[in-house]
Amino acid sequence: MNMFKLTGLLAKIKEADLPEAAELESVLSLESSDDLNTLFSFADLVRHEFCGEGIFLRGIIEFSNFCIRNCFYCGLNKNNLKIKRYRMKKDEILKSVELLAARNIKTVVLQSGDDSGIDVLWLRDIILEIKSKFDMAITLSVGERSFDDYKLWKDAGADRYLLKIETSDKALYESAHEGMSLDNRIRCLDDLKTLGYQVGSGNIVGLPGQTLKIIANDIIFFKERDLDMTGIGPFIPHGDSRFSNQDIGEALLTLKTIALTRIVTKNSHIPATTALGSLDKDYRMDGLGCGANVLMPNFTPQPYRKLYEIYPGKRCVDEPVGACNFCMDDMAKSLGRFIDYGIGDSLKVGRYV
């Protein structure tokens, strides 16, 4: 596409209250390196304008790999009998939070499979203890729960919740999730917003059967929801899941989705995901260069880290806790940016203060 025409289209998409799916689809289908450079530079400028040069850190602790679901892409699926299951003890979780605080990281993401063995009060006590000891935001990412569970944890001090929609397309959603419904996923996102959580969602790029039109509609979904955080990662097949023989998601399409999401949502936090760093090479720098502004260092201690195998080849599984920090400082510097050690709340002005 002619550079002026493409820049004009991107500017139109940026200014639209709700962009047109066909226009997003045409951008997702761009292939020439000139077009891609124009797209990625435009997205980087939007990131600069709405998010600044700071890269926020979210330290993640994957505290349980038990799961009652059968998501056809995920290695934690309940039918995977090969995986050794674990649930970290309260003291182990708090020790990991302490390590994270010692690295000056001010967001902890407590993530797990959809683990029905997690007692709501047990998790509430952990939230209370973290909040009493540390100046730290807490993001929960423990899957689909009831309004009352979400409320209990919000009242205890949880600040944010991450629940990826995975795909906004009902048929595709149902083809990848046994016995689950998109409606309930959306009900959860509604509940979380009602309760005042900063809400993160997102999709998987490259799910079997996904089309560019579906991805375009995902981006419109992100815009309509006005998400505080939007996580976009490539599909990586896991050998012990239903989708084991499917093709891996493309890095380039993932980067195009990140870039367009930045242009459309403007100031949603967008992580350069671990999955993006776990392909044939580490594409997180590319992600940071086309719209992403968040990194997620892993603070899950061994031996658990190796066991949280949602997909194979996950990066840094053998590294000691905290090693990511140095690496992330270097990544920021080489992009002429910096790690922002602030709390990194939502950039949606006025919503949470």
Structure tokens at 144: 């689909």
Choosing from 24, 74, 108, 216, the residue that interacts with ligand SAM (CB under 6 A) is 74
How far apart are CB 166 and ligand SAM at their closest, in Å?
6
Q: Distance between the two ends of the chain, CA-based, in angstroms? A: 43
Determine if 114 is a binding residue for ligand SAM (CB under 6 A). yes
Residues whose CB falls within 8 Å of the CB of residue 173, separated by 6 or more in sequence, listed in order: 165, 166, 167, 180, 181, 182, 185
Structure tokens at 254: 């993932």
Q: Would you mind telling me the total number of residues written for the chain in this entry?
A: 353
The piece of 49-57, 107-115, 149-157, 190-198 that touches ligand SAM (CB under 6 A) is 107-115
**Per-residue x/- track, 48-67, ligand SAM (CB under 6 A):** --------------------
Distances (CA, A) of 112 to 92, 179, 282: 14, 19, 24
What backbone torsions phi and psi does residue 138 show, to the nearest 5 degrees? -115, 125
> Cα(132)–Cα(130) distance, rounded to whole angstroms?
6
Nearer to ligand SAM, 43 or 275 (CB): 275
Choosing from 95, 164, 193, 266, the residue that interacts with ligand SAM (CB under 6 A) is 164
The piece of 93-101, 159-167, 280-288, 297-305 that touches ligand SAM (CB under 6 A) is 159-167
Nearer to ligand SAM, 100 or 110 (CB): 110
Site size for ligand SAM, by CB under 6 A? 19
Nearer to ligand SAM, 217 or 273 (CB): 273
Determine if 40 is a binding residue for ligand SAM (CB under 6 A). no
How far apart are CB 326 and ligand SAM at their closest, in Å?
25
Determine if 182 is a binding residue for ligand SAM (CB under 6 A). no
Please say whether the beta carbons of 47 and 333 come within 8 A.
no
Determine if 166 is a binding residue for ligand SAM (CB under 6 A). yes
CA-closest candidate to residue 201, choices 265, 285, 119: 265
> Cα(113)–Cα(127) distance, rounded to whole angstroms?
18
Determine if 311 is a binding residue for ligand SAM (CB under 6 A). yes
Handedness of CA 242, 246, 251, 256 (dihedral sign): negative
* Four-CA torsion 252, 254, 256, 260, nearest 10 degrees: -170
> Cα(215)–Cα(211) distance, rounded to whole angstroms?
7
Cis peptide before 301 (omega within 30 of 0): no
How far apart are CB 210 and ligand SAM at their closest, in Å?
12
Nearer to ligand SAM, 112 or 265 (CB): 112
How far apart are CB 303 and ligand SAM at their closest, in Å?
18
How far apart are CB 236 and ligand SAM at their closest, in Å?
4
Nearer to ligand SAM, 19 or 237 (CB): 237
What residues between 215 and 254 interact with ligand SAM by CB under 6 A? Answer: 233, 235-236, 238
Where do contacts with ligand SAM occur on this chain (CB under 6 A)? Answer: 73-74, 76, 111, 113-114, 141, 143, 163-164, 166, 204, 233, 235-236, 238, 275, 310-311
